[in-house]
């Protein structure tokens, strides 16, 4: 676990359930979910998307089960899926029962869609007997009309009350393998609802801002809500709801958890300076080219692309690997130590080559094999750049002198 996680609030203790082979809640790692956009009856197309989602970081995948063809498709998909499959049954109790027959690892029920108590209890009983967990998926946009009227809208209190009523039906039949979500498209409402849910329920919580929309706005809204709650120790599993390729949802979820130190890094983490007048190359262009090339390697490595050699290696010394631009040259460094100097047009390729070597030999071995003359070359480039552009680019010395004159009379 990354040291970053130690600065977050302690994670709220919840019950633990099993969605297939994936543990949710308790001390289990926070999991990432997404949902297929294919027709579930299209078995091969759906499996292809499930594999893509799993490759991007999804631990659990949800599929729609809205008709008989979808249910029959699930019977073929579930045994071939690389991750547990949850069925979303929408309005039809028959589809919930059919999904259970298909062998799914979980169900998602929306209390605003499946409303008859006897049907809710029937599904819960069947799930109980099969050891299949259910997510109570409350959604502000489909709240039961009676609850909406009683609370004067889709308030946080209304969302939590909807989940509480559904949970009471489950408890009537002795079913407790439940996780809960109280999603809203309003980030503020979503945050307030989950805070209240965390005080109300002991069950694991599935986080998400529903109907967040397309990129980049949807990503920002989803992150604002999900990251806020994770930082407070709230949440056991999550989904970004984006109007985009669902692979983007899985990738965003995984990257968020890695950024917060809540999951170990398993892919590329590229950091780059925002660029400034001191930059000797087009940092944006180099960073984009490096990201595209390095992502193909699928190596769990942090790489830095810095615009100048004056502060670059020092500012990014925590990175496994990085490069900083000098006068038509790039200073390649590993954990802040210069290992070689390469021509400007070879910077990206040098990063790729060194990343492969680090993956093969390890950081210590690569530092031992560094070019011993590279540091001197790099220092000469730094000195030249400082001589040309000066060390006091913000004229701090002049400002300090004026401050002293004013404060000292």
Residues forming a β-bridge with 237: 31, 206
Provide the whole-model pTM: 0.85
Question: Given this structure, which CATH class describes domain 269-389?
Answer: alpha beta
Task: Select the more confidently predicted residue: 376 or 197.
Answer: 197
* Dihedrals phi, psi of 367, to nearest 5 degrees: -65, -40
Rounded to an integer, what distance in angstroms lies between the CA atom of residue 405 and that of residue 398?
11
Distances (CA, A) of 290 to 316, 344, 353: 16, 13, 11
Q: pLDDT tens for residues 117-175?
A: 999 999 999 999 999 999 999 999 999 999 999 999 999 999 999 999 999 999 999 99
The residue length of the chain stands at 409
Contact 183, 138 (CB under 8 A): yes
Quick one: CATH architecture of 3-259? Answer: Alpha-Beta Barrel (3.20)
CB burial of residue 239 (10 Å; 0-12, 13-18, 19+): buried
Q: Which residue has the tokens 């404060």?
A: 407
Q: Where are the domains of the chain?
A: 3-259, 269-389
Residues forming a β-bridge with 297: none
Q: Which of 68, 33, 12, 400 is nearest to 234 (CA)?
A: 12
Contact 321, 304 (CB under 8 A): yes
Highest mean pLDDT among 220-224, 261-265, 290-294: 220-224
Q: Count H helices and E strands in the chain, helices first.
A: 15, 15
Collect all residues with Cβ–Cβ distance below 8 Å to 379 and sequence separation of at least 6.
none
Q: What angle do CA 338, 321, 380 make, to 5 degrees?
A: 25
Rounded to an integer, what distance in angstroms lies between the CA atom of residue 257 and that of residue 139?
24
Region 337-352: mean pLDDT is 93
Confidence of residue 274 (pLDDT cuts 50, 70, 90): confident
Highest mean pLDDT among 191-195, 305-309, 314-318, 401-405: 191-195
pLDDT score of 393: 47
Which two structure tokens, joined as six digits, stand for 334? 């590993």
CB count in 10 Å sphere of residue 64: 23
Contact 329, 381 (CB under 8 A): yes
Distances (CA, A) of 42 to 37, 79, 247, 258, 292: 11, 15, 18, 33, 31
Which two structure tokens, joined as six digits, stand for 49? 């998307």
Rounded to an integer, what distance in angstroms lies between the CA atom of residue 59 and that of residue 82?
9
| Mean of per-residue pLDDT scores for the chain | 91
Alpha helix ranges (H) inside 173-210: 187-200
Rounded to an integer, what distance in angstroms lies between the CA atom of residue 81 and that of residue 124?
24
3-state secondary structure of 399: helix
Q: Is 395 left (phi over 0), alpha (psi -120 to 50) or beta?
A: left
Contact 331, 317 (CB under 8 A): no
Rounded to an integer, what distance in angstroms lies between the CA atom of residue 187 and that of residue 55?
28
DSSP secondary structure letter of residue 13:
P
Q: Which of 304, 356, 310, 311 is nearest to 332 (CA)?
A: 304
pLDDT score of 405: 82
Q: pLDDT tens for residues 74-102?
A: 999 999 999 999 999 888 899 999 999 99
pLDDT score of 190: 98
3-state secondary structure of 17: strand
Which region among 120-134, 349-363, 367-381 has the lowest average model confidence (pLDDT)?
Answer: 367-381
Region 217-230: mean pLDDT is 97
3-state secondary structure of 249: helix
């Amino acid at each position: 676990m990354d040291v970053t996680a130690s600065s977050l609030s302690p994670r709220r203790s919840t019950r633990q359930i099993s969605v297939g082979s994936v543990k949710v809640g308790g001390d289990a790692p926070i999991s990432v979910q997404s949902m297929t956009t294919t027709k579930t009856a299209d078995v091969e197309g759906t499996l292809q998307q499930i594999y893509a989602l799993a490759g991007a970081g999804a631990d659990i995948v949800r599929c729609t089960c809205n008709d008989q063809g979808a249910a029959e498709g699930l019977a073929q998909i579930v045994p071939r899926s690389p991750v547990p499959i949850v069925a979303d049954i929408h309005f039809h109790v028959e589809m919930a029962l059919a999904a259970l027959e298909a062998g799914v690892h979980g169900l998602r029920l929306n209390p605003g869609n499946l409303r008859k108590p006897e049907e809710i209890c029937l599904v819960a009983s069947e799930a109980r007997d099969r050891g299949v967990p259910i997510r109570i998926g409350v959604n502000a946009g489909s709240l039961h009309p009676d609850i909406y009227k009683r609370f004067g809208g889709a308030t946080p209190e209304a969302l939590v009350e909807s989940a509480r009523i559904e949970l009471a039906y489950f408890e009537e039949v002795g079913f407790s393998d439940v996780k809960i979500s109280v999603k809203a498209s309003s980030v503020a409402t979503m945050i307030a609802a989950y805070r209240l849910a965390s005080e109300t329920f002991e069950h694991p919580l599935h986080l998400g801002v529903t109907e967040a929309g397309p990129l980049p706005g949807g990503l920002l809204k989803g992150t604002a809500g999900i990251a806020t709650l994770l930082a407070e120790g709230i949440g056991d599993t999550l989904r970004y709801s984006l109007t985009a390729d669902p692979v983007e949802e899985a990738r965003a979820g995984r990257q968020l958890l890695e950024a917060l130190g809540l999951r170990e890094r398993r892919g590329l983490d590229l950091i780059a300076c925002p660029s400034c007048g001191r930059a000797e190359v087009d940092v944006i262009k180099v960073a984009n080219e490096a990201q595209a090339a390095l992502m193909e390697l699928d190596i769990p490595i942090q790489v830095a692309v810095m615009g100048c050699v004056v502060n670059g290696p020092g500012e990014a010394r925590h990175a496994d690997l990085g490069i900083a631009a000098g006068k038509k040259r790039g200073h390649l460094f590993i954990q802040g130590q210069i290992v070689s100097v390469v021509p400007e047009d070879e910077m990206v390729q040098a990063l790729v080559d060194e990343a492969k070597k680090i993956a093969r030999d390890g950081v210590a071995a690569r530092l031992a094999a560094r070019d011993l003359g590279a540091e001197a070359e790099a220092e000469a480039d730094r000195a030249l750049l400082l001589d040309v552009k000066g060390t006091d680019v913000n004229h701090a010395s002049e400002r300090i002198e004026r401050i002293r004159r004013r404060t000292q009379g």
